[in-house]
């Protein structure tokens, strides 16, 4: 037992453990690089839940790093007790801050999740459903502000949001590197982009066929024929549309010059007019360890500096 305590209190063993953990992390970075399909969701779930749903021999490095940090946690706890007995305050705070960092990462590995690339159109109420049976976020993009550079790039991107928090309507601002906290979750602004509100297809007969994209429920009814927008290509020159005429369902790709059949009549699309509105693209992140990791890291750096000058 005394030999085990000696190992746990020996800083050299802790140093070897950190070197070993660093080696496995470097090795893991190569494994992640060569196995993108396996690791493409690791940033969106808590680590332990991700490991549970993605069991693979290739994850051995993650298990080994976890075991090493369990050892470092036990070692840090024994050092904390030792410092308490010796009444060495700064060393005690140093080890306490290290343990708090490990606790923060443990909380992150259990509860963290991320919803990526969620689009919020301007002037359209949105309900963002979250994983883990969490309460959804209700948000409304009230105003979008940005400047355009001479090169055509967006800068100074900001957005005014209205949202519900504990059934109370509130307002807030979001910008790049300045997330908005709603119901304990962080909305992180990534970019602004045009959002398709409706498509107008001008036909050869001078008729116009307008298909709304933001239809709340189901396909859009035009003279007994149902149309539902499905997708579009990047430059909005081609659109995937579901056409329902009675019992007949057909998925079609509509583009300029395309012949379409509506109610038994053939038409040629002579013009496509996309009607777009502004929107923002956000990530939603839940991480209850944020404040703890910030506090513990600051304390760790502070006590490390004090100990350095103490020894100097």
Q: State both tokens at 111.
A: 């509860």
In the block, residue with structure tokens 């056409």: 243
24 plus 126 within the same structural domain: no
Is the separation of the CB atoms in 95 and 41 below 8 Å?
no
Question: Going residue by residue through the chain (312 aa), what tens digit of pLDDT does each one get?
Answer: 667 777 777 888 889 999 999 999 999 999 999 999 999 999 999 999 999 999 999 999 999 999 999 999 999 998 888 888 887 788 888 889 999 999 999 999 999 999 888 888 888 888 888 876 678 888 999 988 888 777 767 788 899 999 988 888 999 999 988 999 988 899 999 988 878 778 888 877 667 777 777 655 566 776 777 878 888 887 778 888 888 887 888 888 888 888 877 777 777 888 888 888 888 899 999 999 999 999 999 999 988 887 777 655
What is the C-alpha separation between 65 and 47, in angstroms, rounded? Answer: 12
DSSP 203-218: ETTS-EEEEES--SSS
What is the C-alpha separation between 205 and 222, in angstroms, rounded? Answer: 17
Is the separation of the CB atoms in 84 and 246 below 8 Å?
no
106 plus 171 within the same structural domain: no
Alpha helices in 35-162 (DSSP H): 36-39, 47-53, 60-86, 89-111
Query: What is the number of domains present in the chain?
Result: 3
224 plus 243 within the same structural domain: yes
Three-point CA angle 173, 216, 161, nearest 5°? 5
13 plus 107 within the same structural domain: yes
What is the C-alpha separation between 226 and 242, in angstroms, rounded? Answer: 8
207 plus 170 within the same structural domain: no
DSSP 215-240: -SSSPEEETTEEEEEEEE-TTSSEEE
Q: Give residue 96's pLDDT.
A: 92
Q: Give residue 52's pLDDT.
A: 93
177 plus 78 within the same structural domain: no
CA dist 207 to 88, 203, 262, 264, Å?
A: 85, 5, 12, 15
Q: State both tokens at 200.
A: 């107008």
Q: Say if strands 126-128 and 137-148 run parallel, antiparallel, or are unpaired.
A: antiparallel
Q: State both tokens at 28.
A: 């893991």
92 contact partners, CB below 8 Å, separation of at least 6: 80, 83, 84
- In 3D space, the residue among 273, 301, 305 whose CA is nearest the CA of residue 98 turns out to be 301
257 plus 240 within the same structural domain: yes
Residue 123 domain boundaries: 114-193+280-286
Tell me the residue length of the chain: 312
150 plus 204 within the same structural domain: no
13 plus 25 within the same structural domain: yes
Q: Give residue 213's pLDDT.
A: 73
202 plus 295 within the same structural domain: no
Q: Give residue 214's pLDDT.
A: 63
85 plus 135 within the same structural domain: no
Q: Give residue 215's pLDDT.
A: 57
Q: Give residue 32's pLDDT.
A: 95
Three-point CA angle 241, 243, 248, nearest 5°? 145
107 plus 9 within the same structural domain: yes
Q: Output the CA torsion 95→99→105→106 (10° steps).
A: 160
């Amino acid at each position: 037992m005394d030999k085990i305590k000696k190992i746990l209190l020996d800083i050299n063993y802790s140093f070897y453990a950190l070197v070993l953990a660093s080696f496995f992390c470097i090795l893991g970075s190569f494994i992640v690089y060569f196995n993108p399909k396996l690791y493409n969701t690791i940033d969106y779930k808590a680590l332990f839940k991700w490991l549970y749903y993605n069991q693979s021999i290739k994850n051995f490095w993650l298990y080994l790093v976890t075991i090493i940090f369990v050892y470092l946690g036990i070692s840090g706890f024994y050092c904390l007790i030792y410092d308490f007995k010796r009444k060495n305050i700064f060393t005690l705070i140093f080890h306490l801050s290290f343990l708090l960092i490990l606790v923060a990462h443990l909380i992150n590995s259990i509860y963290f999740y991320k919803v990526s690339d969620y689009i919020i159109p301007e002037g359209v109420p949105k309900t963002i459903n979250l994983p883990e049976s969490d309460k959804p976020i209700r948000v409304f993009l009230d105003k979008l502000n940005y400047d355009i550079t001479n090169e055509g790039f967006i800068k100074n991107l900001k957005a005014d949001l209205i949202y519900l928090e504990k059934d109370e309507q509130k307002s807030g601002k979001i910008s790049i590197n300045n997330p908005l906290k709603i119901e304990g979750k962080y909305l992180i602004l990534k970019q602004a982009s045009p959002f398709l509100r409706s498509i107008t297809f001008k036909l050869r007969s001078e008729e116009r066929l307008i298909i709304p994209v933001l239809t709340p429920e189901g396909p859009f009814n035009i003279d007994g024929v149902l149309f539902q927008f499905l997708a579009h290509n990047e430059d909005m020159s081609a659109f995937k549309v579901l056409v329902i005429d009675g019992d007949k369902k057909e998925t079609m790709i509509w583009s300029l010059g395309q012949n379409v059949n509506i109610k038994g009549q053939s038409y040629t699309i002579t013009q496509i007019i996309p009607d777009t509105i502004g929107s923002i693209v956000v990530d939603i992140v839940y991480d209850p360890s944020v404040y703890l990791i910030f506090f513990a890291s600051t304390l760790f750096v502070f006590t490390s500096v004090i100990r350095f000058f103490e020894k100097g």
